[in-house]
């Protein structure tokens, strides 16, 4: 039987309990959002003792299902002030599932200033002193902990940004190689962990058995088909493994949807220099690793190891959105400089999207020049050291924009827009506006139908059909996030009549239950409804489901603007 692990950071105690009925068949985001709704006062300060940090593996995590090892981290977001689920790879999800832990709920906060290291094993939870870890970068933390606890343990930790409780702070997770390349990046959850004085968590599943599906044979059978489905689709089976997500640089730029110089145009004339093709070429030349999974059990392998000019490891988990944020958004065309910034963010524990968009705000506000890569790197280093300008950047794009008196600040619910211009990929634009998470491409990745033409063909430049694109993707994504599945399984699932059924079948076989496809879709819908309800109780209204006025400007090359009516946007997540 799965259990809930509750950790009281004030009294340094822990306890296990059985999940109550409403949590029984929930996992990942569905469970973190449910628990946050049930237990966190919506109007509390996100850094106060009243907030909680909830960590949950997906419903399929720990099984042999391909790409089922994604972790959900939930809380009231210090960045948006609303509910947050931030989703990450790494080792933790599979291990928690094997330990029979359905969720960890981290509560209260200590009165003293000392940080703890939380050590979770099959025997329980130990609060260990973390004096030696304080101030360390995430690379240093993971290196230290792997030396101490062995190179198999899962690690979730915060860097200097989380210690400073900056609203751009991430929780970083050790990837399979022990680099801090995976992040629960968005929404400032590292600040919540910092407020609870936890520098790192070690999850050690030694002595725990693999997850045994209730219906083992049925599970094996569908899991095999599932793996084959993922590897046989051109995007998840070929494009992503060959070039990583940075394959999108040329694709999105060609589509005229690459936000350039703080969303002034849709094309970056030097995109080629920061493209996935260029990245793959450099990796190959320098002896890096072209394809790598973000968690054990991944068959898509869109991650990589990017080496510097000397052939030494520089960074991994080097995503398209990061390349865009520090690249086209800031008019920086040097992939090595961008890789260095990705590494800095991983080490300092910063969301690369909000950090990159914040650097753009620093350029917009005249703090540094457009394209000044050395200046940008310097600003990130100052987040590490706690310099006041670092506190500005480290609190994200909305904060940096305000600090510098900028009036073109591309955020929704204070969270920075990612790498797809909402005027030229309208399906994603609707997601930015309406997801309870704040601007987030992963909440409903309309790039599928709009640009990649996966799961349908809906004009990216026109309104028509894109409310439905976003709505359906947001529901489906909430299901994937509940299951612990990587978002990229959406490509084959959308293009196959059997894909979604396989997910349903795997959940049923895993738990020995009989959900229908509609039952599983209802998990997604309920999750969205729960998240909306939390946000309403925290003071959000439909006015928060809007893009900022700057998107009324025309966007070249397609001369498009943001033209959805309020009613259209408000209809997106209406399931009544």
Binding site for a copy of itself (CB under 8 A): 41, 43-48, 50, 78, 164-167, 191, 194-195, 387-389, 391-392, 395, 399, 402-409, 537-539, 541, 543-544, 546, 548-550
CB nearer a copy of itself, residue 274 or residue 411? 411
- Nearest distance from residue 396's CB to a copy of itself, in Å? 10
- Nearest distance from residue 34's CB to a copy of itself, in Å? 22
- Nearest distance from residue 164's CB to a copy of itself, in Å? 6
Contact 197, 129 (CB under 8 A): no
Partners of 265 in the beta sheet?
Answer: 260
Q: Output the six-digit token pair for 526.
A: 């309920």
Our CA dihedral for 241, 243, 442, 70, rounded to 10 degrees, sits at 40
Q: If you write DSSP's letter for every residue of 110-164 in order, what string do you get? A: -SSS--EEEEEETTEEEEEE-TTTTT--HHHHHHHHHHHH-TT-EEEE--HHHHT
Partners of 87 in the beta sheet?
Answer: 72
- Nearest distance from residue 386's CB to a copy of itself, in Å? 10
What φ, ψ does residue 350 adopt, rounded to 5°? -130, 140
CB nearer a copy of itself, residue 294 or residue 538? 538
Helices (H) and strands (E) in the chain, counts: 22, 17
CB nearer a copy of itself, residue 342 or residue 364? 364
CB nearer a copy of itself, residue 160 or residue 259? 160
489: helix, coil or strand?
helix
- Nearest distance from residue 139's CB to a copy of itself, in Å? 23
Contact 524, 477 (CB under 8 A): yes
Number of Cβ within a 10 Å radius of residue 113: 7
- Nearest distance from residue 540's CB to a copy of itself, in Å? 8
- Nearest distance from residue 142's CB to a copy of itself, in Å? 23
Rg value, the chain, Cα:
21
Contact 257, 420 (CB under 8 A): yes
Instruction: Measure Cα distances from 22 to 50, 499, 511 in Å.
Output: 22, 27, 16
- Nearest distance from residue 163's CB to a copy of itself, in Å? 9
CB nearer a copy of itself, residue 235 or residue 379? 379
- For residues 13 and 5, give the distance between their C-alpha atoms in angstroms, rounded to a whole number: 11
For residue 380, give the nearest of 229, 93, 149, 160 by alpha carbon.
160
CB nearer a copy of itself, residue 265 or residue 402? 402
- For residues 377 and 381, give the distance between their C-alpha atoms in angstroms, rounded to a whole number: 6
- Nearest distance from residue 408's CB to a copy of itself, in Å? 8
CB nearer a copy of itself, residue 225 or residue 408? 408
What φ, ψ does residue 109 adopt, rounded to 5°? -150, 150
Q: Which residue has the tokens 């049930």?
A: 38
CB nearer a copy of itself, residue 211 or residue 392? 392
CB nearer a copy of itself, residue 152 or residue 552? 552
- Nearest distance from residue 567's CB to a copy of itself, in Å? 15
CB nearer a copy of itself, residue 71 or residue 403? 403
């Amino acid at each position: 039987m799965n259990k809930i692990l509750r950790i009281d950071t004030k009294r340094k105690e822990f306890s296990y309990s059985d999940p109550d009925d409403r949590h029984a068949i929930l996992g990942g985001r569905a469970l973190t959002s449910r628990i946050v709704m049930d237990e966190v006062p919506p109007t509390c300060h996100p850094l106060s003792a009243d907030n909680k940090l909830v960590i949950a593996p997906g419903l399929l995590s720990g099984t042999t299902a391909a790409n089922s090892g994604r972790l959900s981290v939930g809380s009231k977001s210090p960045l948006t002030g609303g509910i947050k689920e931030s989703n990450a790879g790494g080792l933790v999800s599979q291990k928690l599932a094997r330990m029979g832990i359905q969720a960890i709920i981290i509560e209260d906060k200590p009165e003293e200033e000392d940080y703890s290291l939380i050590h979770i094993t099959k025997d329980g939870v130990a609060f260990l002193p973390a004096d030696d870890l304080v101030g360390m970068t995430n690379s240093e933390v993971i290196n230290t902990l792997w030396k101490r606890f062995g190179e198999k343990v899962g690690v979730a930790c915060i860097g200097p940004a989380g210690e400073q409780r900056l609203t751009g702070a991430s929780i970083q997770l050790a990837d399979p190689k022990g680099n801090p390349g995976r992040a629960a990046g968005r929404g400032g959850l590292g600040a919540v962990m910092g407020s609870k004085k936890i520098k790192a968590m070690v999850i050690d599943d030694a002595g725990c058995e693999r997850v045994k599906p209730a219906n083992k044979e049925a599970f094996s059978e569908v899991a095999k088909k599932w793996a084959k489905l993922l590897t046989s689709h051109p995007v998840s089976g070929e494009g992503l493994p060959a070039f990583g997500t940075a394959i999108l640089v040329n694709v999105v730029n060609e589509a005229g949807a690459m936000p350039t110089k703080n969303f002034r145009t849709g094309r970056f004339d030097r995109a080629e220099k920061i493209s996935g093709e260029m990245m793959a070429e450099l990796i190959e030349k320098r002896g890096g690793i072209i394809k790598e999974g973000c968690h054990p059990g991944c068959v898509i392998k869109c991650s990589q190891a990017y080496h510097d000019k000397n052939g030494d490891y520089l960074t991994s988990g080097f995503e398209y959105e990061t390349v865009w944020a520090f690249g086209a958004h800031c008019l920086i065309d040097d992939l090595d400089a961008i890789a260095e910034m990705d590494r800095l963010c991983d080490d300092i524990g910063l969301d690369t999207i909000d950090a990159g968009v914040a650097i753009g705000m620093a350029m917009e506000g005249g703090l540094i020049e457009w394209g000044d890569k050395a200046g940008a790197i310097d600003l990130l280093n100052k987040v590490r050291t706690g310099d006041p300008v670092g506190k500005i950047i480290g609190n994200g794009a909305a904060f940096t924009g305000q600090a510098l008196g900028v009036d073109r600040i591309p955020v929704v619910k204070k969270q920075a827009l990612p790498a797809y211009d909402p005027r030229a990929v309208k399906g994603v634009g609707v997601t930015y506006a309406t997801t309870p998470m704040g601007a987030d491409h992963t909440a409903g990745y309309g790039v599928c139908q709009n640009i990649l033409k996966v799961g349908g063909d809906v004009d990216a430049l026109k309104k028509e059909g894109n409310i439905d694109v976003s709505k359906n993707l947001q529901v489906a994504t909430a299901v994937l996030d509940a299951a612990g599945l990587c978002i990229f399984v959406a490509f084959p699932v959308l293009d196959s009549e059997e894909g979604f059924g396989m997910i349903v079948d795997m959940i049923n076989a895993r738990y020995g239950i009989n959900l229908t496809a509609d039952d599983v879709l209802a998990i997604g819908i309920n999750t969205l409804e729960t998240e909306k309800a939390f946000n309403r109780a925290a003071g959000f209204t439909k006015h928060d489901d809007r893009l900022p006025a700057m998107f009324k400007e025309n966007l070249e090359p397609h001369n498009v603007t943001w033209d959805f009516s309020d009613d259209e946007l408000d209809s997106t997540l209406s399931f009544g």
